[in-house]
């Protein structure tokens, strides 16, 4: 029989379960379910298990009986120990209480003493606080005074460095100058405070110091300009810095620039004169050495002026532009500080590059005057039209070059424009004189109808002019229009002279002569694109004269072949039946007349082309001779087609309207030539 080891509800020892087997099974099952339903995560269960583990419990019957007793004994022992510990704590608390009481009495005594001391020291501390506040106020005033003196007052040494002429213009000068500028600027703040008088005094003093400083810079720059060597690549930074500073006084700056321009103009004029005469050095070759060659002489002078301008601009760029926009800022600051001086002048933004170009332009004004004198002398002393035009083109080239270098407002451009206009006037005057001499000696055309000698000379001159113009820097869009004035002077008068000659000539010689002259002119103009419009005009005129020659050749073929009378007679008739029936009755179409005309045509045809070509053989182009002859022959063949067609139509009408016994000879039998034969013989 099995035994149950699970304690019952009363905590009795385990004993075998009595009763029915079914009841025992149900109780056991319930007990197991209850145990298994207990969560091991329950804190009380876990503590109970840990306590049981510490007891080293052995699962025996005796140990199970003693378990509760042992546990209760342990609890009693623990409680006793706790009571003993609390007794010790209570004893210590009693001792602490006595100490706290002693401390409370001591603190009360100390508070009484402190209160007594406070009552005695109160007035002293109040006086001390007042003295400390006064001290802080005095120290604040001392700091304010020190800051004021540091910011608004300069020392005697600084004043001497700023205004004394014996002191150099160095870094110390510019440092003090910047400081005084700051004082002058900040003193305006004082004018809006209660210390207005102090602000006015400081403003007045700083203004005087600044004026003295700028006068010192002005005199120093003038002194430096007297010995300034622009060819020296290492131009001192002090003068550049001084110029930037002086820019804040536009009047002084402008006066300084005027002095500089005067000195540079004199220097460059002397250098140019030395280059002309060779006085610049023993090894220098004078420009006047080539005065016998006017074009080279003027070109050398212009080249020297351009080279000097480039060098001058580069040197001045280092002085005035290399430091950025500092000059512009200085000038703007000067204008802003003195707005009344420019009250009626519109405000403009300072352009450093433009100002530089104006300065360089003024520097070379003396060179420009000397250049103008020499060039005008050369132009007036030569009567060669080609030379005058080449000089004008050379001056135009340098005008464009100087404009790119100095801008469109440079004064030297006016000088060059005047010289170019003078050269153009000389060119036109020389051409007019030449034309006048030609018209005075105008003769008949050459026997071979070739262009006259004066036209060949004019075309040779025109070629030289076109070559010179082609190498110039004239704008592409304006090249044709700009060259029209040259053609009007160098070509049109000569073509008009040729026209006056051929108008007096008989045809076809007049048209041949005109075409030969036009062909020569077109051939001279052909290599250059800027003459395309004039070439088109010449081609139209050649076509007109060619049409005249075609008409003349055509009439020659009609007249020489005897066909003219037939063409005139048949052209007056229409293709109507009545007009066609009238043809056989006309006098020209009688047997004898028609046979005579046919014989004349047969005699003419073998040499017709040779005879026609001989008429215009003096044309200078075989192609044009061939084209004119072919065109006239084609017109002749068309007329012959008309004659043949109407003769055949007339024969057909007669053949259908008459009896065979009474029918007259057919017109085609009397005039047997066909169009195909004519075209073969005239081809």
Angle at 356 between CA 354 and CA 357, to 5 degrees: 65
Q: Give the three-state DSSP class for 391.
A: helix
DSSP 177-211: HHHHHHHHHHHHHHTTSS-HHHHHHHHHHHHHHHH
Asked if residue 337 and residue 264 are part of one domain, the reply reads yes
Measured in whole angstroms, the distance separating CA 182 from the mean position of its chain's CA atoms is: 41
Asked if residue 489 and residue 427 are part of one domain, the reply reads no
Is position 370 within any domain?
A: yes
Angle between helices 196-226 and 250-277 (to 10 degrees): 0
pLDDT of residue 10: 42
Asked if residue 475 and residue 435 are part of one domain, the reply reads no
Structure tokens at 382: 């030569």
pTM value?
Answer: 0.65
pLDDT of residue 526: 93
Is position 108 within any domain?
A: no
Q: Which long-range contacts (CB under 8 A, 24 or more apart) does 189-193 make?
A: none
Asked if residue 379 and residue 430 are part of one domain, the reply reads yes
Last residue of a domain, one of 441, 469, 491: 441
Asked if residue 414 and residue 355 are part of one domain, the reply reads yes
Asked if residue 621 and residue 496 are part of one domain, the reply reads no
Is position 499 within any domain?
A: yes
Asked if residue 633 and residue 510 are part of one domain, the reply reads no
Residue 186 vs residues 109, 180, 433, 660: alpha-carbon distances, Å: 64, 10, 78, 137
Is position 168 within any domain?
A: no
Is position 552 within any domain?
A: no
Structure tokens at 393: 């083109």
Inter-residue contact 394 to 422 (CB < 8 Å): no
pLDDT of residue 259: 87
Is position 89 within any domain?
A: no
Give me the residues of the chain with pLDDT under 50, please.
Answer: 1-19, 339-346, 659
Is position 270 within any domain?
A: yes
Asked if residue 474 and residue 368 are part of one domain, the reply reads no
Asked if residue 343 and residue 279 are part of one domain, the reply reads yes
Tell whether omega for the bond before 153 is within 30 degrees of 0, i.e. cis: no
Asked if residue 567 and residue 540 are part of one domain, the reply reads no
pLDDT of residue 8: 44
pLDDT of residue 22: 56
Residue 10 has phi, psi (to 5 degrees) of -90, 0
Structure tokens at 75: 């609890």
Is position 273 within any domain?
A: yes
Last residue of a domain, one of 36, 54, 77: 77
- 37: containing domain: 21-77
Asked if residue 614 and residue 481 are part of one domain, the reply reads no
Domain count within the chain: 4
pLDDT of residue 123: 85
Structure tokens at 408: 């469109």
Asked if residue 462 and residue 437 are part of one domain, the reply reads no
DSSP-H helix ranges across 441-583:
453-470, 479-490, 492-502, 509-525, 532-561, 564-571, 577-582
Last residue of a domain, one of 413, 441, 469: 441
DSSP-H helix ranges across 13-60:
21-37, 43-54
pLDDT of residue 402: 92
pLDDT tens profile 611-658: 889 999 999 889 999 999 999 999 999 988 988 888 888 877 876 655
pLDDT of residue 546: 93
Token pair 């009360």: residue: 108
């Amino acid at each position: 029989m099995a035994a149950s080891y699970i304690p019952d509800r009363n905590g009795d020892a385990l004993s075998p379960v009595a009763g029915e087997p079914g009841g025992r099974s149900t109780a056991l099952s319930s007990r197991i379910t209850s145990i298994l339903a207990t969560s091991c995560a329950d804190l009380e269960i876990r503590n109970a298990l840990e306590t049981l583990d510490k007891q080293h419990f052995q699962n025996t019957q005796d140990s199970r009986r003693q378990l509760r007793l042992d546990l209760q004994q342990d609890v009693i022992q623990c409680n006793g120990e706790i009571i003993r510990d609390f007794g010790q704590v209570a004893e210590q608390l009693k001792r602490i209480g006595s100490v706290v009481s002693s401390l409370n009495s001591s603190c009360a005594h100390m508070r009484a003493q402190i209160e007594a001391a406070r009552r005695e020291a109160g007035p002293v501390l109040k006086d001390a606080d007042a003295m400390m506040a006064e001290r802080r106020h005095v120290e604040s005033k001392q700091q304010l005074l020190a800051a004021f003196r540091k910011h608004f007052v300069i020392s005697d040494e600084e004043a001497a460095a700023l205004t004394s002429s014996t002191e150099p213009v160095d870094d110390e000068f510019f440092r003090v100058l910047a400081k005084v500028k700051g004082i002058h600027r900040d003193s305006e703040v004082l004018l809006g405070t209660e210390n207005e008088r102090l602000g006015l005094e400081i403003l007045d003093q700083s203004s005087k110091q600044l004026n003295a400083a700028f006068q010192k810079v002005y005199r120093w720059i003038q002194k430096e300009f007297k010995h300034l060597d622009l060819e020296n690549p290492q131009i001192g930074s002090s003068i550049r810095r001084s110029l930037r500073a002086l820019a804040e006084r536009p009047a002084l700056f402008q006066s300084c620039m005027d002095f500089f321009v005067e000195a540079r103009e004199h220097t460059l004029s002397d250098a140019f004169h030395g280059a002309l005469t060779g006085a610049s050095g023993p090894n220098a070759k004078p420009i006047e050495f080539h005065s016998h060659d006017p074009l080279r002489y003027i070109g050398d002078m212009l080249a020297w002026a351009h080279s000097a301008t480039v060098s001058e601009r580069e040197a001045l760029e280092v002085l005035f532009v290399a430091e950025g926009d500092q000059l512009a800022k200085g000038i703007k600051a000067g204008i802003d500080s003195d707005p009344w001086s420019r009250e009626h002048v519109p405000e403009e933004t300072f352009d450093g590059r433009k100002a530089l170009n104006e300065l360089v332009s003024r520097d070379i004004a003396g060179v420009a005057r000397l250049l103008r004198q020499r060039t005008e002398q050369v132009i007036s002393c030569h009567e060669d039209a080609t030379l005058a035009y080449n000089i004008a083109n050379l001056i135009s080239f340098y005008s464009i070059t100087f404009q790119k270098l100095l801008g469109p407002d440079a004064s030297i451009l006016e000088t060059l424009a005047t010289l170019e206009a003078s050269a153009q006037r000389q060119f036109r005057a020389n051409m007019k004189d030449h034309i006048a001499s030609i018209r005075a000696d105008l003769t008949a055309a050459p026997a071979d109808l070739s262009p006259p000698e004066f036209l060949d000379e004019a075309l040779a001159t025109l070629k030289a002019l076109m070559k010179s113009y082609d190498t110039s820097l004239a704008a592409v869009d304006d090249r044709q229009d700009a060259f029209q004035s040259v053609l009007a002077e160098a070509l049109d008068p000569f073509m008009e002279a040729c026209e006056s000659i051929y108008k007096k000539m008989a045809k076809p010689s007049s048209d041949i002569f005109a075409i030969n002259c036009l062909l020569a002119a077109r051939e001279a103009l052909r290599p250059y694109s800027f003459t395309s419009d004039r070439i088109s005009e010449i081609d139209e005129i050649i076509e007109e004269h060619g049409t005249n020659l075609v008409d003349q050749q055509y009439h020659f073929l009609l007249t020489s072949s005897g066909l003219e009378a037939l063409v005139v007679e048949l052209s007056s008739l229409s293709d109507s039946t009545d007009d066609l029936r009238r043809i056989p009755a006309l006098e020209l179409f009688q047997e004898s007349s028609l046979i005579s005309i046919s014989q004349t045509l047969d005699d003419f045809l073998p040499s017709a082309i040779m005879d026609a070509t001989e008429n215009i053989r003096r044309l200078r182009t075989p192609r044009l001779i061939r084209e004119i002859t072919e065109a006239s022959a084609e017109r002749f063949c068309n007329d012959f087609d008309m004659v043949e067609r109407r003769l055949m139509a007339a024969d057909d009408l007669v053949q259908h309207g008459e009896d065979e016994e009474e029918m007259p000879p057919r017109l085609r039998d009397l005039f047997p030539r066909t169009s195909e034969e004519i075209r073969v013989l005239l081809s």
